Amino acid sequence: MTEYLVRFLIGGVAVSAFALLGDLLRPTSFAGLFGAAPSVALASLGLAVINHGAPNTATQALAMIAGAVALFCYSILVCRLLIRGRWSALSATLTCLLVWLAVAVGLSFATGQLT
């Protein structure tokens, strides 16, 4: 339980720091870079190195590659839905989470990380 509480606090601080930096930066497209900052990854991988060692952490980082590719597809789709489809930000970002999950899991199966 303590591990998850520490994760919660460190993750919250890391995400808030990157989000605040994104708020301060202009133009909006540049600030958007911080929307895909590895804030959760920094906190999680840091704790994973301490608790589980390097090989386990390397496996997580390799799996993260599929997640990052899925994030690219997700962001492009959200952008299209907002401009062309005239969706609201909340509905576009939440609906596309399914696409993110499908691409991430699909890529993991395709590359043999998940069997």
Partner 1 sequence: MTPSLSFASLKDSRWHEYVMRFVLGGLVTALTGVISNHLGPAIGGLFLALPAIFCASATLIEKHEIRRKREAGLDGRRRGRQAAALDAAGAALGSLGMLAFAVCFAIVVQKHAALAFAAAFIAWAAVSLMAWWAWRRMRAGQRQSRVSQRRAKARAPHRAQAVRSDR
Six token digits for residue 69: 């590719």
Residues 49-88 that bind partner 1 (CB under 8 A): 49, 52, 54-72, 74-76, 78-79, 82-83, 86-88
> Contacts with partner 1: how many residues (CB under 8 A)?
86
Six token digits for residue 16: 């808030």
Cβ proximity to partner 1: between 97 and 110 the closer is 97
Q: Which of 94, 98, 102, 110 binds partner 1 (CB under 8 A)?
A: 94
Residues 15-34 that bind partner 1 (CB under 8 A): 15-16, 18-20, 22-34
What is the 3 state secondary structure string of 39-84? HHHHHHHHHHHHHHCHHHHHHHHHHHHHHHHHHHHHHHHHHHHHHC
Q: Which of 2, 98, 105, 110 binds partner 1 (CB under 8 A)?
A: 105
Cβ proximity to partner 1: between 94 and 110 the closer is 94
